[in-house]
Amino acid sequence: MPYLEEIYNIVVVGAGHAGCEAALACARLGLETIIFTVSVDSIALMPCNPNVGGSSKGHLVRELDALGGEMGKNIDRTFIQSKMLNESKGPAVHSLRAQADKQEYSRQMRKTLESTDKLTIRQAEVSEILVEDGKIQGVKTSSGAVYRAGAVILCTGTYLKARCIYGDVSNPTGPNGLQAANYLTDSLKANGIEMFRFKTGTPARVDGRSIDFSKMEEQLGDERVVPFSFSTDPESVQKEQVSCWLTYTNDETHRIIKSNLNRSPLFSGAIEGTGPRYCPSIEDKVVKFPDKNRHQVFVEPEGLYTNEMYLGGMSSSLPEDVQYAMYRTVPGLEKVRIVRNAYAIEYDCINSLQLKPTLEFKKIRGLFAGGQFNGSSGYEEAAVQGFMAGVNASMEILGRSQIVLDRSQAYIGVLIDDLVTKENHELQDDDLQSRVQASPAPG
Ligand SMILES: Cc1cc2nc3c(=O)[nH]c(=O)nc-3n(C[C@H](O)[C@H](O)[C@H](O)COP(=O)(O)OP(=O)(O)OC[C@H]3O[C@@H](n4cnc5c(N)ncnc54)[C@H](O)[C@@H]3O)c2cc1C
């Protein structure tokens, strides 16, 4: 036998938020499971915002927790600030949101995976799915190793043929400079799977020492913290918290953005992908809402291990010099130093209409999908899909009935139903381009 060959019940491709929940669900249901990642150092990585929960997302995390998922427990272990949003409104819309220590979140999730029986972690790039007579047989890695399994769950997030872009700089990597996965798309297409090209973006991370916090509004955590997980002892989460900060863009920020839109890769056509829902860049917001003379900027710590701060609300793919200029117009950021530039990322994902409500592909028995790979966006959205895909793949192997949550039962049901029944490609960037062309930028 020339290459390594192993047999599992279930293969999970991807150890992001979807893959971790999928693999934990399968292993906890007693099935021999292997989870692949391009880097074990990036298990449950948060490549964008440093928080879990918020409006609707907080509900998803709590539903996931009630079903046996891990995200709620993990954020309870690793949060550095917690806040119940919408408290001035009725209890149905109260939404829990917690700032995470990013490294600790990732470390603790890895620890959980490593201490779960029947779960094997493997750093390798999956390059092919193996299908015979419409039924999944397993996967092959780029080294030629074959992993046979009764079910495969694809949770590849933003890594397939990924490209990170700002201005005229384009790097062929996944998030945070991690290796992209360049082969799997072709295998999926060869097996009749329709693929889309999507894009999303992230703001710059800046050095906290270069910020004048006295010009910003302090955002404190709740005095009495409510845990995410129903199984967390409420006393264990009462601890010292860090502050976040609120500031705003202004006319000068917007003038700089508008006058440099022609240098945006969105405008030049260097970015082809459309955006997943609800992830507008600051240039998108400025163009789409010309009547708004300011936008919120939430300045949030990335963790206790660093003084890097996240500039929530200011995602961008403008060139480096424009990023500096626009950020420095914001009160408190006049002398800001960037640690990591803002960038957009393009990646391959599927047309999720190819999935059943169980998240199994209609055409390939035993092949499931979860997370950003399904065209959604967000850690929480990814986690709940990964969990449901994991449960349903396990049910299939165990010969038991699969589980579909109804729209009337759970936010998870609404999310998945939308994904598998509604078109999921917004034309936000075409829209941005046409609006820019219709209104020439001021000098
Ligand atoms: C730049 C950027 C900006 C973002 N902005 C936002 C935002 O504003 N709002 C928001 O809600 N969300 C945002 N996100 C999305 C958020 O990061 C994702 O929704 C979330 O991480 C998706 O989780 P996932 O598990 O689906 O995928 P990911 O977290 O991307 O994890 C994918 C996993 O798959 C593995 N993998 C992929 N292909 C292979 C392969 N072939 N072989 C082996 N392993 C493989 C990777 O190693 C990784 O472990 C952003 C992401 C990025 C990168």
pLDDT reading at 390 higher than 80: yes
Closest C-alpha to ligand 1, atom 13:
378
- CA-wise closest residue to 172 among 153, 189, 184, 159: 159
**Tens digits of per-residue pLDDT, 48-64?**
999 999 988 999 999 99
**Tens digits of per-residue pLDDT, 263-300?**
988 777 777 776 655 578 999 999 999 999 999 999 99
- Let me know: does 129 contact 187? Beta carbons within 8 Å: yes
Please give the C-alpha separations between residue 100 and each of 212, 229, 325, in angstroms, as whole numbers: 23, 15, 29
Looking at the domain covering 5-202+346-421, what would its CATH class be? alpha beta
The percentage of the chain sitting over the pLDDT mark of 70, rounded to a whole number, equals 93
Complete edge-to-edge strand list for the sheet that includes strand 296-301: 217-219, 244-248, 296-301, 308-312, 205-207, 338-340
Q: How confident is the model at residue 389 (pLDDT cuts 50, 70, 90)?
A: very high
The predicted model gives 325-349 an average pLDDT of 97
Q: Whose structure tokens read 């790039």?
A: 125
Which of 159, 384, 387 maximizes ligand 1 atoms within 8 Å of its Cβ, making it the mutation to test the pocket?
159
The CATH architecture assigned to 205-342 reads: Beta Barrel (2.40)
The predicted model gives 33-56 an average pLDDT of 96
pLDDT reading at 428 higher than 60: no
What pLDDT shows up at residue 268?
74
- Let me know: does 386 contact 359? Beta carbons within 8 Å: no
- CA-wise closest residue to 17 among 391, 393, 372: 372
Residues 396-419 as b or e (16 or more Cβ within 10 Å = b) = bbeeeebebbeeeebbbbbbbeeb
Output the CA angle 118-119-121, nearest 5 degrees: 150
Domain ranges of the chain: 5-202+346-421, 205-342
Which of 35, 36, 43, 48 maximizes ligand 1 atoms within 8 Å of its Cβ, making it the mutation to test the pocket?
48
What pLDDT shows up at residue 270?
77
Closest C-alpha to ligand 1, atom 34:
14
- Let me know: does 347 contact 373? Beta carbons within 8 Å: no
Q: Write out residues with Cβ below 6 Å of ligand 1.
A: 13-19, 36-39, 42, 47-49, 125-126, 155-160, 175, 181, 184, 200-202, 279, 315, 345, 371-373, 377-379, 382
- Let me know: does 228 contact 105? Beta carbons within 8 Å: no
Q: How confident is the model at residue 97 (pLDDT cuts 50, 70, 90)?
A: very high
Q: Which atom in ligand 1 lies closest to the alpha carbon of residue 278?
A: 9
The bridge status of strand 308-312 relative to strand 338-340 is unpaired
**Tens digits of per-residue pLDDT, 191-230?**
999 999 999 999 999 999 999 999 999 999 999 999 999 9
